[in-house]
Structure 1
Amino acid sequence: MKFASVCHNGVNHAVLVDGGSVIPLRGIAEIGPQTPGDLLRDPPLDDKCRLDISDVIFRPVVPGPAKVICVGLNYREHIAECEQATPAYPVFFSKFASSLIGPYDDITLPPETHRLDYEAELAVVIGKECRRVSAREASGYVAGYTVANDITMRDFQFRTHQWMAGKAWDRSTPLGPFLVTPDEVGDPQKLEIRLMVDGDVRQESSTGLMIYSVAELISILSEFTSLSAGDVILTGTPSGVGDRRTPPAYLQDGATVSVEISGIGRIENRVRNEFPVRRTTVETV
Structure 2
Amino acid sequence: MRFVSFLHDGRPACGLMQGEHILLAPASAHADLKAAIAADALADLGRACEAAGQRVAFADVALLPVIPNPGKILCVGLNYEMHRRETGRDVVENPTIFTRFADSQAAHGQDLLRPRVSTDFDYEGELAVVIGKGGRYIAPEAAMAHVAGYACYNDGSVRDWQRHTIQFTPGKNFPQTGGFGPWLVTPDEIPDLDKLRLTTRVNGATVQEATLDHMIFDVPRIIAYCSSFTPLSPGDVIATGTPGGVGAKRKPPLWLKPGDMVEVEITGIGVLRNGIADEAA
Q: Which residue of 1 aligns with 2:68?
A: 63
Cα drift, residue 235 of structure 1 = 0.1
- 1:228-247 equivalences under 5 Å are 228-247=233-252
User: Is the contact between residue 36 and residue 42 of structure 2 (CA under 8 Å) also seen in structure 1?
Assistant: no
User: Is the contact between residue 243 and residue 250 of structure 1 (CA under 8 Å) also seen in structure 2?
Assistant: yes
Give the Cα–Cα distance (whole angstroms) in 1 for the partners of residues 181 and 31 of structure 2. Answer: 16
The residue identity in structure 2 corresponding to 1:156 is W
The residue identity in structure 1 corresponding to 2:256 is L
Give the Cα–Cα distance (whole angstroms) in 2 for the partners of residues 21 and 120 of structure 1. Answer: 26
Q: Which residue of 1 aligns with 2:40?
A: 38
User: Is the contact between residue 8 and residue 55 of structure 1 (CA under 8 Å) also seen in structure 2?
Assistant: no
What is the DSSP-based 3-state SS (H/G/I as helix, E as strand, rest coil) of the residue aligned with 2:84? helix
User: Is the contact between residue 148 and residue 187 of structure 2 (CA under 8 Å) also seen in structure 1?
Assistant: yes
What is the DSSP-based 3-state SS (H/G/I as helix, E as strand, rest coil) of the residue aligned with 1:257? strand
Cα drift, residue 33 of structure 1 = 3.9
Give the Cα–Cα distance (whole angstroms) in 2 for the partners of residues 48 and 267 of structure 1. Answer: 26
Cα drift, residue 37 of structure 1 = 7.3
The answer to whether the aligner puts 1:73 opposite 2:75 as a matched pair is no
Greater mean alpha carbon deviation, residues 3-12 or residues 257-266: 3-12
- 1:245-260 equivalences under 5 Å are 245-260=250-265
Unpaired runs of at least 5, structure 1:
277-285
Q: Which residue of 2 aligns with 1:87?
A: 92
Q: Which residue of 2 aligns with 1:3?
A: 3
Structure number with the higher helix fraction is 2
Give the Cα–Cα distance (whole angstroms) in 1 for the partners of residues 136 and 212 of structure 2. Answer: 25
Q: Which residue of 1 aligns with 2:12?
A: 12
RMSD: 1.3
Cα drift, residue 155 of structure 1 = 0.2
What is the DSSP-based 3-state SS (H/G/I as helix, E as strand, rest coil) of the residue aligned with 1:162? coil
Unpaired runs of at least 5, structure 2:
none
Cα drift, residue 31 of structure 1 = 1.6
- 1:84-233 equivalences under 5 Å are 84-233=89-238
Give the Cα–Cα distance (whole angstroms) in 2 for the partners of residues 14 and 35 of structure 1. Answer: 12
User: Is the contact between residue 37 and residue 142 of structure 1 (CA under 8 Å) also seen in structure 2?
Assistant: no
User: Is the contact between residue 7 and residue 61 of structure 2 (CA under 8 Å) also seen in structure 1?
Assistant: yes
Cα drift, residue 163 of structure 1 = 0.5
User: Is the contact between residue 122 and residue 261 of structure 1 (CA under 8 Å) also seen in structure 2?
Assistant: yes
Cα drift, residue 48 of structure 1 = 3.6
Which structure: larger Rg?
1
Summarize the Cα distance change of 1:38–1:275 in structure 2 as closer, same or farther, 3 Å threshold.
closer
What do residues 9-33 of structure 1 show as CA deviations (whole Å, max 9, x unaligned)? 3132110111121112233332214
What do residues 214-256 of structure 1 show as CA deviations (whole Å, max 9, x unaligned)? 1110011111111011000000000000000011111111111
What is the DSSP-based 3-state SS (H/G/I as helix, E as strand, rest coil) of the residue aligned with 1:194? strand
The residue identity in structure 1 corresponding to 2:143 is A
Greater mean alpha carbon deviation, residues 31-40 or residues 261-270: 31-40
User: Is the contact between residue 147 and residue 265 of structure 1 (CA under 8 Å) also seen in structure 2?
Assistant: yes
What is the DSSP-based 3-state SS (H/G/I as helix, E as strand, rest coil) of the residue aligned with 1:35? helix
What is the DSSP-based 3-state SS (H/G/I as helix, E as strand, rest coil) of the residue aligned with 2:134? coil
The residue identity in structure 1 corresponding to 2:228 is E
Summarize the Cα distance change of 1:147–1:232 in structure 2 as closer, same or farther, 3 Å threshold.
same
Instruction: State TM-score, norm by structure 1.
Output: 0.93
% identical equivalent positions:
39
What is the DSSP-based 3-state SS (H/G/I as helix, E as strand, rest coil) of the residue aligned with 1:176? strand
What do residues 137-170 of structure 1 show as CA deviations (whole Å, max 9, x unaligned)? 0111100000000000000001111110111111
Give the Cα–Cα distance (whole angstroms) in 2 for the partners of residues 182 and 14 of structure 1. Answer: 18
The residue identity in structure 2 corresponding to 1:42 is D
The residue identity in structure 2 corresponding to 1:25 is A
User: Is the contact between residue 24 and residue 53 of structure 2 (CA under 8 Å) also seen in structure 1?
Assistant: no
The residue identity in structure 2 corresponding to 1:224 is F
